[in-house]
Amino acid sequence: MSDIHHISAEDDYVANGKFSKLKPIKNFEEVLDPSLFCRMHRSHMVNLSQVVRIEPYEKENRNFILGLV
């Protein structure tokens, strides 16, 4: 799990940079540990251990900065 930095939905499949799955991001949200992964947007999930800071962006939005190693 620590190798997954983020998961992004693209159209009808999910890509994590290496693999593509023909499942919606909701499936990943249901099976991944919520103490490790958080859905930040309808099409994005992040590994919370990779978040190094959170920056304000526009009125009610935030940018999550990941420390990609």
Among 56, 27, 54, residue whose Cα is nearest residue 64: 54
Name the pTM for this structure.
0.72
Domains located in the chain, CATH noted = 6-66 (2.40.50)
The mean pLDDT value for 5-32 works out to: 74
Query: Residue 28 to residues 4, 8, 24, 54, 55: CA-CA distances in angstroms?
Result: 12, 11, 7, 23, 25
Find out whether 45 and 38 touch, Cβ atoms under 8 Å.
yes
Fill in the DSSP letter of residue 23. S
Q: Who has greater pLDDT, 11 or 51? A: 51
Q: What is the pLDDT of residues 32-65, one digit of tens each?
A: 999 999 998 888 899 999 899 999 998 888 888 9
Q: Tell me what the mean pLDDT of segment 26-36 comes to.
A: 91
